[in-house]
Structure 1
Amino acid sequence: MAGLLIAGTTSDAGKSTVTAGLCRAFARRGVRVAPFKAQNMSNNSMVVRAADGTLGEIGRAQWIQARAARAIPEPAMNPVLLKPGSDIGTHAVVMGQPAGTVSSANWRADRAPWAAIAHEAFDDLSGRYDVVIAEGAGSPTEINLRDSDYVNMGLAQHASLPTVVVGDIDRGGVFAALYGTLALLDAADQALVTGFIINKFRGDASLLAPGLDSLEQLTRRRVYGVLPWHPQVWLDSEDTLDVPAASADAETATRRVAVIRLPRISNFTDVDALRLEPGLDVHFASSPAGLADADLVVIPGSRATVADLAWLRQRGLDRAIVRHADDGGAVLGICGGYQMLGALISDPAGVESPTQQVAGLGLLDVRTQFGADKTLSLCHGTALDAPVEGYEIHHGRVDVSDGEPFPGGVRQGRVIGTLWHGLFESDAFRAAFLRDVLGARPSDVSFADARERRLDLLADLVEKYLPVDDLLQLARDGAPDGLRAVPPARS
């Protein structure tokens, strides 16, 4: 099996970014490369089609990594996807399909069967691709979970994967984090860790040289390189840690879009395309003050619609949204946000919430009922005289009583609801929406081209600052023999 495990000192250290960059760099060399993440915890997901035509759901990060690899995204690239619905309960998706709920109290027992499924998916990809680049989850030194791990060193041991650890220098303490990550592993796991990458460095890299030399001497492992922080590096994120505060050109914007930052927000990348429009300030808001000067308020998707609706009410955001609409402002609800805009939400089976029935915001004449069956679809249509595409991921069935048809939903004046994610990635539709709803002049930005340019930029940085050919050879040859354990190794 040819492959690498890209591990990290923490969540959001840069594992997804490095994996995507290497996928594109390897693909440029004519290598058939696939991304993989055995278990992802994210509410940002994408609908993909399996080889047999079945639709499934994977983490958005693995979808964009597949695009970087110029491969077709499929469920095997993210065999286990966990979607947090509360602090103690998580919805599971296995090989693209719903697989019940996992509780924190039964964490080990609930996830035990998934190790074999995940490793089988990795082996399947390995048989069809030249190289598989696996992204770890969190940190490989979550030693309280090592006995049941199949995502980090458990996967590395299964497939004898050489492992590279990424550390984010922006967080501070990167040398301690890298050394500590290695030192807390047992000797067998340390034998697969071949070296390190430092991510998001700002300034003169020569200032790091003494620290890099010391780290290599202490660990007898290579620092493969230092990736700089770059303002234009952007990927479809899996983690709300990456939710941006505001658009870069906020001060010169002529229209303002406020996106409600729900606690259990899902598919927040739905507004990424809007962020590319030079005349828009797209910012995330969690209080009524954040909506004060907005032209458009967006209520995004939610993994726990009823709970997030209660959060809106606790903060007074429900009243602020209704006032905004009453004053003639535009409101867009996407998926769970659409359901919140309706008259009533029912969940008699407790699919998302123990609350069986709750009143919505009453801005749209629709009613939602949750059921056990999940809808997954890839959608195509026409709206505002423009072609539009999207995808659906939801348990709620929405019944519409009144309003003008809109893709995946309904429109009543300047209040719009849709079950379709990804609408704004359709350039012609986005332009028509901005003209019709906001009276704004759209740009000629192509979102697909912008995404490709960002992937190529990332690959260019990886090519410049990392030894790509050495890492490709490492993936093919495996970890070298004789990598010594460093104290205080666990035994």
Structure 2
Amino acid sequence: MTGRALLVAGTASDAGKTVVTTGICRALARRGISVAPYKAQNMSNNSMVVAGGAAGAAPGGCAEIGRAQWIQAVAAGAVPEPAMNPVLLKPGSDLRSHVVVMGEPAGALEAGEFASGREHLARAAFDALDDLRSRYDVVVCEGAGSAAEINLRVHDYVNMGLARRAGMPTLVVGDIDRGGVFASMAGTLALLSPEDQQLVRGFVVNRFRGDAGLLRPGLDELERRTGRPVLGVLPWLRGLWLDSEDSLALGARRFDDEAVEPGADVLTVAVVMLPRISNFTDVDALCLEPGVRVRYVDDPRALAGADAVVLPGTRATVGDLAWLRGRGLDGAIVEHAADGGAVLGICGGFQMLGREIRDPVGVEGPAGVRVPGLGLLDAVTEFGAGKVLGLPRGTALGVAASGYEIHHGRVTVGSGAGFLGGVRDGLVFGTMWHGALEGDGLRSAWLRAVAHARGRSIDVGNVGFAAARENRLDRLADLVDEHMDVDALLAMLDGGPALPTVRLTLEQPR
């Protein structure tokens, strides 16, 4: 028996597709429905390692999927797997993306091939969806960008092309916090072909603030003009960020000074906003610590007053290191370390802290490139063609630790103490493990080490990150249950009558 499926599409990137999909997954799972998330294609440098790989892979192997589908699987109570994100594009530059298919590296895609060079990717995506539908009652699919990417429609397998192929009812999500939500929803529908329009069964308004009664006239007019119901108006809720795929969501992670009691002793952590930042969720757990102020910086002056600097992962280590130098951040980081401040480099950020980075095979550009690092750690990185994926466990700072590895760089360490697959020299830490700070023990130990060196007394270790994540998922499902017509959504999965075609018009409201 084939399970039912739903597409959650959007009017634009960051309209709320990921959040709505995640909330629906948890809400359906709480009803006892076997549900799986799915996104045919991500374009994101925020990914996660999961157990297993493509068919025929060696037992015990690992695979790579988008971080958003990983958290959606957690919300659904399902085991994350490659079929939930069969195609992952990881931008290395504005013109080239590295391709991951069913969790494994599959070459690169140039900008000129984006429209026409993806037939094999579409086949992989369709096969993965068919597989999930054979094993789950409901598959909740997330679209990408806008549902009305009409320049890409002929080769589309992510939005309406996917919906058409699978006969999926589609929800269109719009972000009212940006303004223009009624025009964007009606315009999205009007730009679709009559055949695609038949699959759009309703709208969801996301991030609404204020009196819902003031919205009613607009909702009524939207329904009248389009013939589609608004199945929900989800309120804007402070702090409800998730493990998203898009760095546009970093704004929701900025520190809220109102959460700190006046006069409280806090640690300030500056996270460098690299242009090709990857796995930015590595610092999410720091954002939840009441004794920690996290800020995202791209200017050397913003490091003033920071107790610790985090250099996160990146999909373009050499290019982002050049950007760092071009902005003067390299010198500011070295000066910060010389003044007794802590520095934590994660994956690509760790590689930047070493003595040299070598690319003999051309992973990030021309083969044979060698560039000096910041020289804060005795380590040399050499890129290899094969990607390292892993789910390591170990100990550091006297506590158990775990994380995940995704990298081409192989690091050779000279002097210094070992630290999470990397090295430590005083308060300069380098690790190849993503996600390690999600471990409550390791995070607390690192923060205490930084605080002790800075002569600070802060309250840490009282936040359980895994429990906080579960609470956020349940809050999101509560919002869906309270503000969306979930019964109508379930009925929508069984199809329905033909709906009117909507065309662009200058008709005045009645």
TM-score (norm 1): 0.97
Give distance in 1, aligned partners of 2:303 and 2:140.
Answer: 42
Match of 1:179 among 173, 182, 186: 186
- Is residue 2:343 matched to residue 1:331? yes
Give distance in 1, aligned partners of 2:18 and 2:342.
Answer: 35
What amino acid sits opposite 2:186 in the alignment? Y
Give distance in 1, aligned partners of 2:82 and 2:414.
Answer: 36
1:95 corresponding residue in structure 2: 102
RMSD, aligned CA: 1.3
1:217 corresponding residue in structure 2: 224
Give distance in 2, aligned partners of 1:362 and 1:135.
Answer: 43
Match of 1:459 among 477, 486, 494: 477
- Is residue 2:378 matched to residue 1:376? no
- Is residue 2:13 matched to residue 1:8? no
Report matched runs for 1:84-163 at 5 Å: 84-163=91-170
2:498 corresponding residue in structure 1: 482
Give distance in 1, aligned partners of 2:132 and 2:45.
Answer: 24
Deviation at 1:326, TM superposition (A): 0.7
1:447 corresponding residue in structure 2: 465
What amino acid sits opposite 2:460 in the alignment? P
Is 2:353–2:377's contact at 8 Å kept on the other side of the alignment?
Answer: yes
Match of 1:263 among 261, 264, 275: 275
- Which stretch shows the higher mean deviation, 229-238 or 434-443? 434-443
1:199 corresponding residue in structure 2: 206
Give distance in 1, aligned partners of 2:72 and 2:257.
Answer: 28
- Which stretch shows the higher mean deviation, 100-109 or 72-81? 100-109
State the secondary structure of the residue aligned to 1:179: helix
Give distance in 1, aligned partners of 2:101 and 2:356.
Answer: 31
1:421 corresponding residue in structure 2: 434
Give distance in 2, aligned partners of 1:432 and 1:217.
Answer: 58
Q: Deviations over 1:35-75 (max 9, x none)?
A: 00000011000001127543110000000000000000000
Give distance in 1, aligned partners of 2:477 and 2:23.
Answer: 5
Give distance in 1, aligned partners of 2:60 and 2:21.
Answer: 27
Is 1:225–1:466's contact at 8 Å kept on the other side of the alignment?
Answer: yes
Is 1:304–1:353's contact at 8 Å kept on the other side of the alignment?
Answer: no
Structure 2 residue runs without a partner (length 5+): 54-58, 453-457, 506-510
Match of 1:430 among 443, 461, 470: 443
State the secondary structure of the residue aligned to 1:11: coil
- Is residue 2:308 matched to residue 1:296? yes
Deviation at 1:377, TM superposition (A): 0.1
2:376 corresponding residue in structure 1: 363
Q: Deviations over 1:443-485 (max 9, x none)?
A: 311000000000000000010000112212222x03x131111
Match of 1:249 among 257, 276, 284: 257
Deviation at 1:108, TM superposition (A): 2.5
2:43 corresponding residue in structure 1: 41
TM-score (norm 2): 0.94
Deviation at 1:249, TM superposition (A): 3.2
Give distance in 2, aligned partners of 1:226 and 1:276.
Answer: 27
Identity across the alignment (%): 62
Deviation at 1:402, TM superposition (A): 0.9
Deviation at 1:423, TM superposition (A): 0.7
Aligned residues: 487
Q: Deviations over 1:246-275 (max 9, x none)?
A: 311376551100000000000000000011
Structure 1 residue runs without a partner (length 5+): none
Give distance in 1, aligned partners of 2:77 and 2:60.
Answer: 19
1:395 corresponding residue in structure 2: 408
Is 1:26–1:472's contact at 8 Å kept on the other side of the alignment?
Answer: no
